[in-house]
Structure formats: C-alpha cells, structure tokens
Amino acid sequence: MKKFGIFYGSTTGTTEELAGRVAGALGVSAADVHNVANTSAAGAKEYDVLVLGSSTWGSGELQDDWYDFLKALGAEDLSGKAVALFGCGDSESYPDTFCDALALIRDGLSSTGCRFVGAYEPQDYAETGSAVCRDGKFVGLAVDEMNEPDKTEARLARWAGLVKEQVA
C-alpha cells in the first residue's frame, strides 16, 4: 500500500481543517499530516503520495508559508511520487483567481519528475475560468468554504475516490 503524506499551509485555519478532512477521506493518519510552516521539504521523501494543500490569497497567491517550502520541494527529485492538490478559495469575490495557489504549486513542481493525480472535470462549480482549471479540468480539489460549504463533502468524496483510484 502506498504511503500518503499531507502537507498544507493555513493562515486562518480553514485549510488546516480541510487537511484533516482530506486525511479522513484518504485514510491518512494524523501523524502524516504536516503544516509546511514547521516542516522540512526533505520529509516528503518518505512518502509515495504527496497531498499538498494551500489557500489562495490576494490576486491568486500562495499562502505565505508555502513560498519557502515550495522552493525547497521543487529542488527535490520527486521521480516516482504521485502528487495530489487541494485548496480553498473564494469563487464569489475572486472568480478570476479562484484556487490559483493549486496551479502555482503544480507549476512549481512540474520539473521534479512527479506524476500529478486528482485532476477532474468541474461539476457544480460557478467558476471554472481561473488558473486552477487547465484543459477543462481542475488540477486538484477546489473548495469554497465561504460561499459553498454545503458542497465540500461531495466534492471531497469524489476527488478522494479519484486520487485513490489513480495511485492504486
């Protein structure tokens, strides 16, 4: 069985809470859930599947703790590892940059040799025009806890099932 590690950055606690829910959906132990603010990117080496989460800030920016972590993780050889992305955004106030942090993480790791999993066709989303949507698919789980919290569980379950299937 593949070993999953969840790495997240959170400012207000929303992404931290979502990371816990992601862990539950994927069957990941709390010991394998890490805040990037106090974790070394080298710790990612012990996992087969990296599940990376960030909120999106300002005009499509990463959560602050992600900048140094992403730079360090992007310098690692991630060949043979699967990477799944999840994040929070505000699709109503920031439709053009909704969950763009996921695209920034994906782009930052594109030359590491990893394989991205968990991209899916957005269903029941009002916004699909931001950078999180590539070639008609979201690059990872995109949730809007501010405006659509009632849709998170179904979105999470669908995405988690897809990730499990793609890494099996």
Q: Give the chain's domain count.
A: 1
Residues 98-111 have pLDDT tens digits of: 999 999 999 999 99
What pLDDT is attached to residue 123? Answer: 85
The parent domain of residue 37 ranges over 4-167
Task: Please state, in angstroms and as integers, the Cα–Cα distance from residue 63 to each residue in 113, 115, 121, 150, following that order.
Answer: 24, 23, 25, 24
Determine how many CB atoms are found less than 10 A away from the CB of residue 125. 18
CATH of the domain at 91: 3.40.50.360
Residues 110-164 have pLDDT tens digits of: 999 999 999 999 988 887 788 888 888 999 999 999 999 999 999 999 999 999 9
